[in-house]
């Protein structure tokens, strides 16, 4: 993999991504778990603990309508809402930046011939965490106009529906306009995610952060081969989705024939989802890191061998 100054073919990227994952399994899976698995686990545990209270709020008869047992339920909803907000913020601006940066750092150093110890990989990642968070904030600022359009569309639809709900034609027209805007926003978000997807890679590997990293990512994708990058992402996504669907079918069949105790199928499904999530996140981050270098090779003539000696630290 080192010293390759020709763009990688899809088959090579697909195969070598497994090699990188296998050689750095512990560090990369830990990074993936920090990115998404930990938050998901905490949310599932919290929901499992609060599920009886939520069910009681929806059906007060479970607690005995008109008794004091229903009093704490409204607070449960408020605490659940606050909990979700806190989790989302931690996910977006701490866990995800750190976990993905750890995977990128580990994969990049390995491609340059350096198999970092677990502790050193985390220390290097921690030193860059502040810069990565700034990059994440910069991406969010560029997403704000899209979110504003979403909010305006929802508000406009709600006002129109309230004023014309007795007019079937107006309601259908409103739904059509709403879904048209919805699909336009989805396409816009997908496009922005694609052109900004190298932002972390640039911050970790090039010491460029915030808007500089985000705009450089857009330049690499748009000038370095938008078609090949999109094609590679879609193809690997299709392959992984097919494998995941097949495994999900097997797990679903198991759950169907499982014992009557509902806990066993639930635990199996939970473990499967966490394991699948960790694999998908790990593999896709490595794959995107390959695409980042592939784009630099195509656009800038990047050479792993020439950069290997100067790549001792982040």
**pLDDT tens digits along 168-215:** 666 666 677 777 777 877 888 888 888 899 999 999 998 889 999 999
Task: Let me know if residue 293 belongs to a domain.
Answer: yes
Per-residue model confidence (pLDDT) at position 98: 92
Per-residue model confidence (pLDDT) at position 166: 66
Per-residue model confidence (pLDDT) at position 189: 83
Q: How far is Cα 167 from Cα 144, in angstroms, rounded to an integer?
A: 34
Which CA distances in Å does 210 have to 5, 24, 124, 249?
28, 28, 19, 42
Q: How far is Cα 105 from Cα 314, in angstroms, rounded to an integer?
A: 8
Query: Mean pLDDT throughout 223-231?
Result: 79
Q: How far is Cα 65 from Cα 309, in angstroms, rounded to an integer?
A: 72
pLDDT digits (tens, 9 = 90+) for 43-86: 666 666 655 554 444 444 544 444 444 444 444 567 777 777 88
Task: Let me know if residue 1 belongs to a domain.
Answer: no
Per-residue model confidence (pLDDT) at position 13: 87
Task: Let me know if residue 248 belongs to a domain.
Answer: yes
Task: Let me know if residue 149 belongs to a domain.
Answer: no
Per-residue model confidence (pLDDT) at position 58: 47
Q: How far is Cα 182 from Cα 176, in angstroms, rounded to an integer?
A: 10
Q: Which residue has the higher pLDDT, 150 or 201?
A: 201
Which stretches of the chain are DSSP H helices? 10-23, 25-32, 38-58, 73-90, 96-111, 118-164, 168-195, 199-206, 211-256, 263-300, 304-308
Number of domains in the chain: 1
Nearest to 290 by CA among 10, 3, 28: 10
Task: Assess contact for 101 and 126: CB atoms under 8 A.
Answer: no
Q: For the ranges 2-16, 51-65, 68-82, 291-305, which has the lowest average pLDDT?
A: 51-65
Task: Let me know if residue 298 belongs to a domain.
Answer: yes
Q: How far is Cα 241 from Cα 17, in angstroms, rounded to an integer?
A: 17
Q: What tokens does 135 get?
A: 């990059």
229, pLDDT greater than 60: yes
Q: Which residues of 253-288 are buried (b: 16+ CB within 10 A; e: fewer)?
A: eeeeeeeeeeeebeeebeebbbebbbbbbbbbbbbb
Could you tell me the pTM of the whole model? Answer: 0.76
Task: Let me know if residue 228 belongs to a domain.
Answer: yes
Q: What is the domain range of residue 255? A: 10-139+198-308
Task: Name the band, by pLDDT with cuts 50, 70 and 90, for residue 145.
Answer: confident
Q: What tokens does 79 get?
A: 């605490």
Task: Let me know if residue 313 belongs to a domain.
Answer: no
Task: Let me know if residue 90 belongs to a domain.
Answer: yes
Task: Give the whole-number percent of the chain exceeding pLDDT 90.
Answer: 15
Residues contacting 11, CB < 8 A, separation 6+: none
Per-residue model confidence (pLDDT) at position 104: 92
């Amino acid at each position: 993999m080192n010293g390759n100054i020709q763009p990688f073919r899809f088959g090579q990227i697909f195969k070598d991504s497994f090699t990188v994952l296998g050689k750095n399994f512990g560090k990369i899976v830990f990074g993936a778990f920090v990115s998404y698995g930990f938050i998901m686990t905490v949310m599932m545990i919290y929901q499992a603990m609060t599920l009886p209270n939520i069910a009681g709020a929806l059906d007060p008869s479970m607690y005995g309508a008109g008794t004091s047992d229903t009093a704490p339920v409204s607070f449960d909803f408020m605490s659940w809402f606050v909990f979700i907000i806190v989790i989302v913020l931690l996910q977006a601006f701490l866990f995800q930046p750190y976990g993905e940066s750890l995977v990128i750092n580990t994969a990049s150093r390995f491609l340059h011939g350096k198999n970092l110890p677990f502790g050193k990989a985390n220390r290097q990642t921690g030193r860059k965490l502040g810069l990565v968070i700034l990059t994440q904030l910069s991406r969010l600022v560029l997403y704000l106009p899209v979110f504003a359009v979403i909010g305006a569309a929802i508000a406009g639809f709600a006002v129109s529906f309230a004023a014309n709900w007795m007019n079937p034609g107006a309601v259908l027209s409103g739904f059509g306009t709403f879904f048209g805007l919805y699909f336009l926003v989805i396409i816009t978000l997908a496009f922005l995610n694609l052109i900004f997807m190298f932002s972390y890679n640039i911050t970790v590997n090039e010491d460029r952060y915030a808007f500089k990293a985000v705009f450089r990512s857009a330049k690499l994708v748009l000038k370095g081969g938008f078609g090949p990058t999109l094609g590679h992402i879609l193809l690997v996504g299709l392959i992984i989705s097919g494998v995941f669907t097949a495994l999900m079918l097997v797990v679903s069949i198991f759950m169907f024939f499982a014992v009557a105790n509902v806990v066993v199928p639930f635990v199996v499904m939970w473990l499967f989802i966490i394991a699948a999530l960790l694999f998908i996140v790990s593999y896709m981050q490595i794959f995107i890191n390959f695409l980042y270098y592939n784009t630099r090779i195509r656009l800038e003539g990047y050479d792993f061998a020439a950069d290997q000696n100067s790549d001792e630290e982040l």
